[in-house]
Amino acid sequence: MKASIAVAQKEFKDGLRNRWLIAITLIFAIFASALSWFGSAAVGSIGFSSVANTIVSLSSLNIFLLPLIALLLSYNAIVGEDEDGTLLLLLTYPLTKAELLLGKLIGHTAILAIATIVGFGSASLTIAIFAEGVNLVELSTAFGLFIFSAILLGMIFISLSYLISSWVSEKSKAAGLALIIWFFFVLIFDMALLGILVATEGQVHSELFPYLLLLNPTDVFRLVNLVNFETNGTGLLSIASEQSFSLSGLMLSMTIWIIVPFALAYYRLTKRPI
Amino acid sequence: MSVINLQNVKQSFDKLSVLKGIDLKLEPGEVLGLFGHNGAGKTTTMKLILGLLEPTAGSVKVFGHNPHDSNFSHHRYRLGFLPENVSFYQQLTGLEVLAFFAKLKKVDSKRCLELLNQVGLGNAKDRKIKTYSKGMKQRLGLAQALLTEPSLLLLDEPTVGLDPIATQEFYVIVDELKSKGCSIILCSHVLPGVEKHIDKAAILSQGQLKAYGSITDLRRQTNLNTQVVFDGCFEIDELSTQLGHTIDRNDEGFFVVSLSSEEKLDAIKLLMEQPGLKNIDTRPPSLEQLYKYFIEQDHQVITFPHEVTSPNEVFEIGGAK
């Protein structure tokens, strides 16, 4: 475990040095503040509208941004060390492959978590201070849940990154695959589901269909942030509103989404030719 | 107990057989030079000893245990390794990188400063690795291998990128560790200078050990001629008849005669009696000559694997110039 902490510290320091941490934090803070103030510009008003609106639009933005950042942050975790020759060296140290991978997960998660907490936290603070008539309890629970689930979403994509990274032999392939994964979950998956729904004229098993959403971690993330609001999701998510998922069920599904790719990444790492 | 014991080790990747039955033994405080051309199996042998690979056949024992076993982990504190072409973490400083490796080996961080000074990186410790030259990275690599005062040190091409003075300093460190009882494997194809520092040489070619033993043993096996180099004023033709060998002049302008080990002593006696003799020196076959002899003894031309470069391509590139 101590070895994992050492790896985590190294990854964190690396993230600080590359300015990853500061860049991600700024991106989150700027987008979150902009969205909370101008999110309702489309309906003709400027300024903070409601917690529900803010969280819904923030989570729609986040499913584009966060997975991309998480993938970029960690796609070269294994393949990069391999190309530099440090993977070979590390494996001659008293450090197991599991400890190495776990340490990396802790380090990368720490970077993403700090950026998420500071970035979105500062946005919620500005709302609390400057907006009028805000229910502070509602605001802080909604943002708390949002930030927590965003960190989980980040971890899911970091795990997926490790799976890619321990599988392929070149950095450029890992980068390409990371973009494909992003494209698939953020754009293709929902479109394909909608396509099936339209093509079959809604005749698919209506009880089963909402569960298909659980196969896409970005949809799970959006569902988590809808649970506490009256608002129904737009587009595809509206089909899930008939089938209400419990918060704990959704969290469990996110946890599984972290563990399974991570375990597969470990398996690939043990099979990786050194 | 031997520090390293390889018995009839075979290693193949898919259908490619890289090692075809290797036996190696290394005792405490011994320095072994592992030599061979590219693709001879040097790095594979190192990886087997480090437990990164599992042999296809045969047994590998390090400190009496199988290094591929998961419970070998606690023996890894006693093990130092310098990989070939390592390039560390670009964004971190030299000291930070070494401190990271020290933490993994549970070594006190004070030792890092001491080691960086020892390898001549004291002034560059706070600079980022991306500003380091190849030689500096090599020194840092050496520093991490020495973190725990290891009982076994494996060095893959340790002097590549080092200037002559740094190379000398490197060999001082090797001799020092050896005197403390550390066993060392030096893996190299740069031969001049290394022979004084090794106890045994192993010459690998195409997955087989072509020669294995002390340099004296290898010299005995080869019967290569010793060169007697001398200088002075002589009647060369007469001297040549007396010695029974032709006398050449070498690049430095000295006379050279090539003699077998039996003829050597008589020839030196004869030369010593010459009034015009100013200087005399004997040069036994160098490691480089031994290496060449063993590699070429079965008239195998070194061929590159086809997928890398075929000889024709090399010729065409050369011809086009």
pLDDT, tens digit, for every residue of B260-271? Answer: 878 888 888 888
Is the pLDDT at B63 greater than 60? The verdict is yes
If one looks up domain B4-219 in CATH, what number appears? 3.40.50.300
Top pLDDT among A12 and B234 is at: A12
| A94/B105 CB distance under 8 A | yes
Residue B49: closest C-alpha in chain A: A92
The model's confidence at residue B10, banded by pLDDT at 50, 70 and 90, is very high
| B104/A89 CB distance under 8 A | no
d(Cα B132, Cα B127) in Å, to the nearest integer?
Answer: 8
Cα A141 to Cα A137, A138, A227: the distances in Å are 6, 5, 12
Percent share of chain B, pLDDT over 70: 92
Which residue is it, tokens 């060998």?
Answer: B245
pTM of the predicted protein model? 0.86
Chain B: closest CA distance from residue A188 (Å): 36
Residues on chain B touching A92 (C-beta within 8 angstroms): 50-52, 76, 79, 81
**Which of A17, A18, A85 comes nearest B83 by C-beta?**
A85
Angle at A84 between CA A83 and CA A90, to 5 degrees: 105
| Interface of chain B toward chain A, CB-CB under 8 angstroms | 13, 47, 50-53, 70, 73-74, 76-77, 79, 81, 83-89, 91-92, 96, 100-101, 103-106, 128, 144
| A85/B87 CB distance under 8 A | yes
The model's confidence at residue B315, banded by pLDDT at 50, 70 and 90, is very low
> Quick one: three-class SS letters along chain B?
CCCEEEEEEEEEECCEEEEEEEEEEECCCCEEEEEECCCCCHHHHHHHHCCCCCCCEEEEEECCECCCCHHHHHHHHHEEEECCCCCCCCCCEHHHHHHHHHHHCCCCCHHHHHHHHHCCCHHHCCCEHHHCCHHHHHHHHHHHHCCCCCCEEEEECCCCCCCHHHHHHHHHHHHHHHHCCCEEEEEECCCCCCHHHCCEEEEEECCEEEEEECHHHHHHHHCCCEEEEEEECCCHHHHHHHHCCCCEECCCCCEEEEECHHHHHHHHHHHHCCCCEEEEEEECCCHHHHHHHHHHCCCCCCCCCCCCCCHHHHHHHHHHC
Q: Using one digit for the tens of pLDDT, what is the confidence trace for A193-230?
A: 888 888 887 676 667 778 888 999 999 999 898 877 76
**Which of B83, B87, B104 comes nearest A6 by C-beta?**
B104
| B74/A91 CB distance under 8 A | no
**Which of B70, B81, B85 comes nearest A92 by C-beta?**
B81
Residues on chain A touching B96 (C-beta within 8 angstroms): 13
Chain A contact probe: residue of B68, B71, B104 with most A CBs at under 10 A: B104
**Which of B53, B70, B88 comes nearest A86 by C-beta?**
B88
Is the pLDDT at B318 greater than 80? The verdict is no
The model's confidence at residue A231, banded by pLDDT at 50, 70 and 90, is low
- Please give the average per-residue pLDDT across B145-169, as a whole number: 90
Residues on chain B touching A85 (C-beta within 8 angstroms): 83-87
**Which of B76, B89, B106 comes nearest A92 by C-beta?**
B76
Angle at A102 between CA A96 and CA A103, to 5 degrees: 90
The model's confidence at residue B311, banded by pLDDT at 50, 70 and 90, is very low
Chain B contact probe: residue of A4, A10, A266, A272 with most B CBs at under 10 A: A10
Do residues A70 and A221 touch, judged by C-beta distance below 8 A? no
Chain A: closest CA distance from residue B45 (Å): 13
Average pLDDT across chain B, whole number: 86
| B84/A86 CB distance under 8 A | no
The model's confidence at residue A56, banded by pLDDT at 50, 70 and 90, is confident
Domain ranges of chain B: 4-219, 225-284
| B104/A90 CB distance under 8 A | yes
**Which of B76, B83, B91 comes nearest A94 by C-beta?**
B76
| Interface of chain A toward chain B, CB-CB under 8 angstroms | 2-3, 6-7, 9-10, 13-14, 17-18, 84-86, 88-96, 273-274
Chain A: closest CA distance from residue B134 (Å): 13
| A93/B104 CB distance under 8 A | yes
| A3/B104 CB distance under 8 A | yes
Residue B51: closest C-alpha in chain A: A92
Is the pLDDT at A36 greater than 60? The verdict is yes
Size of interface A-B (CB pairs under 8 A): 69
| A84/B87 CB distance under 8 A | yes
**Which of A6, A9, A85 comes nearest B85 by C-beta?**
A85
Q: Using one digit for the tens of pLDDT, what is the confidence trace for A121-158?
A: 988 888 888 877 788 888 899 999 999 999 999 999 99
**Which of B87, B88, B105 comes nearest A93 by C-beta?**
B105
What pLDDT does B314 receive?
41
d(Cα B158, Cα B225) in Å, to the nearest integer?
Answer: 30
Chain A contact probe: residue of B76, B91, B140 with most A CBs at under 10 A: B91
Is the pLDDT at B215 greater than 70? The verdict is yes
Q: Using one digit for the tens of pLDDT, what is the confidence trace for B94-116?
A: 999 999 999 999 999 899 999 99
Residues on chain B touching A93 (C-beta within 8 angstroms): 76, 101, 104-105
| B79/A90 CB distance under 8 A | no
- Please give the average per-residue pLDDT across B18-47, as a whole number: 91
| B87/A86 CB distance under 8 A | yes
| B100/A9 CB distance under 8 A | yes
Residue B72: closest C-alpha in chain A: A94
The architecture in CATH of the region B225-284 reads 2-Layer Sandwich (3.30)
| A92/B79 CB distance under 8 A | yes
Do residues A178 and A165 touch, judged by C-beta distance below 8 A? no
